[in-house]
Amino acid sequence: MSYLFSSESVSEGHPDKVSDQISDAILDQFLAYDADARVAVETLVTTGQVVIAGEVRSSEYIDLQTIARRTIKKIGYTKSEYQFDGDSCGILNAIHEQSDDINRGVDNGTVEDQGAGDQGMMFGYACNETENYMPVTLDLAHLIMRTLADIRKEGKQMTYLRPDSKSQVTVEYSDDGVPQRITTIVVSTQHDEFDTDDARMLARIEDDVKHILIPRVKEQIHSEKVLALFNDDITYLVNPTGKFVIGGPNGDTGLTGRKIIVDTYGGKGAHGGGAFSGKDSSKVDRSAAYAARHIAKNMVAAGVADEMLVQVSYAIGKAEPVSIYVNTYGKSHVDMTDGEIASKISRMFDLRPKAIERELKLRQPMYLETAAYGHMGRRNEVVSKTFTSRYHEKKTIDVELFTWEKLDMVDEIRKELKIKN
């Protein structure tokens, strides 16, 4: 029997994502001037106020206020009428030094035996629904949000748009798990009060979503099988409450790490519960989740299975994983059990925290770009980033983004698992 599955995304102006971006911008600033910094930063945003808290161990000092204000303004909160803007919001700094008890578990012996920064389990997932091996529901939800942000920043169409928005995409699947069609698209977008009549204002936004936003989304899709999911019977739900003027941190308090399903796989696969943003790579919540995605994506791309979930678990202070688990959902193409595939993974991939840092180049200031529109399924590329500070010299650094998305182990996997090209 067929079934429906939905995934949501949120814009960079959503209050939780504002918090994530401030936390990761601070992390990047530390890493730009101290590659060995240990950072765990949390941010809260609300009406006219930002609270930054957490633990840091670093040889350098950075200007948190400048970074937070710059990030907020780049997102688009630049007007006092939003009740939250980068120039006038108050900023409280409550950061203190990392606990010695935690640090002793991480730095305990040789560099290669660096222990995990915490216990826990991390998941990676991949499937062949899209060209980037992500669930199609989440991939489309992210694309809708990125495109809406592009339209807002261009300032030529839908000029009433404000930074806060959400999307949700529902797809009908066949009984064997193959996407068939999109049934529902939900778009909720904050907007100016550009008309005295609420019904007329909503009708304008609905029409623009259908005839400006969605056509631009479809123009960016290069996969014929994904384009084929669009049809004439899609139900569009636009600003279902009827009005969305009050939004952003003024409408809803934002917190770092409160959009972990948006950050990962949109409800497909699994999530270990640990947030990513604001944490350096000694925290396996982040680094091991990236490593698990790298493994799952390369495995699916190599033809091991159409879909794969990889779980890695750690104990605080210990380098080697406690366990590695694989689930191919009955969609494996190799003559091995899932346990045997997990055993192969343990031999092919070094999952000690320091090895993950090295292989995925996680000591770069590469994290702000991850903090909106998902950490997985993004484009691996090298960009030039410039950092300024009142305490340090200006630095321009070439940074490789989304290293965990590289398909650099496909040939080795095929050789090890005896898969023919």
Question: Which residues fall in the annotated binding site for K(+)?
Answer: 42
Of all residues in the chain, what percent are helix, strand and coil, respectively (each to 5)?
35, 25, 40
* Spatial distance between the Cα atoms of 172 and 176, rounded to a whole number of angstroms: 11
* Spatial CB neighbours of 288, under 8 Å, sequence gap ≥ 6: 116, 122, 312, 314, 321, 351, 353, 356
State whether residue 12 is helix, strand or coil: coil
| Annotated binding-site members | 14, 16, 42, 55, 98, 164-166, 243-244, 252, 258-259, 275, 279, 283
| Annotated binding-site members for Mg(2+) | 16
Q: Any idea what the Cα angle at residue 281 is, between residues 391 and 278, rounded to 5°?
A: 60
| Annotated binding-site members for ATP | 14, 164-166, 243-244, 252, 258-259, 275, 279
State whether the Cα torsion 390-392-394-396 is positive or negative: negative
Task: Compute how many other C-beta atoms are within 10 angstroms of the C-beta atom of residue 320.
Answer: 14
Write the DSSP symbol of residue 209: I
* Spatial distance between the Cα atoms of 369 and 24, rounded to a whole number of angstroms: 8
Task: Compute how many other C-beta atoms are within 10 angstroms of the C-beta atom of residue 304.
Answer: 26
| Annotated binding-site members for L-methionine | 55, 98, 252, 283
State whether residue 213 is helix, strand or coil: helix
